[in-house]
Amino acid sequence: MREHLIDPMAKAPSKTMLSFHEAVRARRSFREFRSEPLPHATLLELVEDAQWAPSNCNTQPWSVHIVSGEKLSQLSALLHAKNDAEEFTPDFGFDMGAFYGNYSARKDEQGKFYYESLGVARSDKEGRRRAAALNYSFFNAPHVALLFMPSFGDNVRVAGDIGMYGQTFLLSLAARGLGGIPQTALGFFAGAIRGYLGISDEFKMLFGISFGHPSENAIKGPRLGRAPLSESVTFHG
C-alpha cells in the first residue's frame, strides 16, 4: 500500500516548535485571527502531521477540504445567507438539550464565557445571534479545513477517527505558534458546502476548523479551565 512507503521522519519541521507539554496547553479555541494567509508549505506541514492521526483499522476515513482566499469569502457569503434564511442541511444532529448534570453546567459556563468575552449580555438575543453568526465569517481566519468522512454503520467509530484527526491538526497548529477553532456550526450547512465545493454525497461533514495566526487580542484573552481530574479519571488496581 502507498502509505507504507511514507517515512514519518522524512521532513524536519521548518521552524522551532513548542514542546508537547507547551503545545497541548497553548492550544485553545481562538475566535479572532489576523487576515494574512499561511504559506502553502505550512499548510502542507499541518496536513502531513494530521495524516499521522490514528484510526480504527487504519481506515484513515478523513477527507479534508482546505478553503482559502476568494473561494473562502464566497463560501462565507453563502453560509451567512443560508444561516439568515435558516436553511440548515446538517448530516448529523446536535441536541444540546440532551446534555444533563455536569455536562449541561459546563455548557452553560462555556456559553457565559463566550458571550461575556464578546461583551454580549445574556438578554441580548440579537447580539447573541450576531455573535453565533461569526462562525460563518470563519472568525476572520484566512483558511478553513472542512472535515468530511464516509458513512459506515452508526458512524460513531468514524466520528472518533475524525476527532483524532482534528486534534492532531490543532496541536500541529499550536506547536507552530498558530491557532484554530473547531466548528460544529459549519456542519449545520454540510449539504450547502458539499454543493458549493462539488463534493460527492458519499462524504458527510462532521465539523470544520478555521485557522491561521490568532490576533494579539485573542492570544492575550482569557481561556476556559477544566474540571478537576477526579471528575473525569478513575484509577483501578
Ligand X SMILES: Cc1cc2nc3c(=O)[nH]c(=O)nc-3n(C[C@H](O)[C@H](O)[C@H](O)COP(=O)(O)O)c2cc1C
Structural contact between residues 183 and 210, judged by C-beta atoms closer than 8 angstroms:
yes
Q: Please report whether residue 83 would count as binding ligand X according to CB under 6 A.
A: no
Stretch that binds ligand X, among 11-19, 28-36, 74-82, 116-124 (CB under 6 A): 28-36
| Binding span for ligand X by CB under 6 A among 16-24, 73-81, 151-159, 175-183 | 175-183
CB closer to ligand X, 112 vs 125: 112
Q: Does 184 bind ligand X (CB under 6 A)?
A: yes
Angle formed at CA 108 by CA 105 and CA 111, multiple of 5 degrees: 155
224 makes contact with ligand X (CB under 6 A)? yes
Q: Which runs of consecutive H residues, i.e. helices, occur in the chain?
A: 20-26, 40-50, 69-84, 101-117, 125-133, 156-175, 184-187, 190-197, 216-220
Binds ligand X by CB under 6 A, chosen from 83, 168, 172, 183? 183
Phi, psi angles (nearest 5°) of residue 182: -70, 140
**Subset of residues 106 to 145 that bind ligand X, contact rule: CB under 6 A:** 110, 135
Positions 199 through 218 that interact with ligand X (CB under 6 A)? 207
Give SS3 for 132.
Answer: helix
**Cα-flanking dihedrals φ and ψ of residue 222, to 5°?**
-75, 165
Identify the residue among 23, 26, 28, 174 touching ligand X (CB under 6 A): 28
Angle (CA) 127-128-130 rounded to 5° is: 65
Residues of the shown chain interacting with ligand X in the complex, contacts defined by CB under 6 A: 28-29, 31, 110, 135, 181-185, 207, 223-224
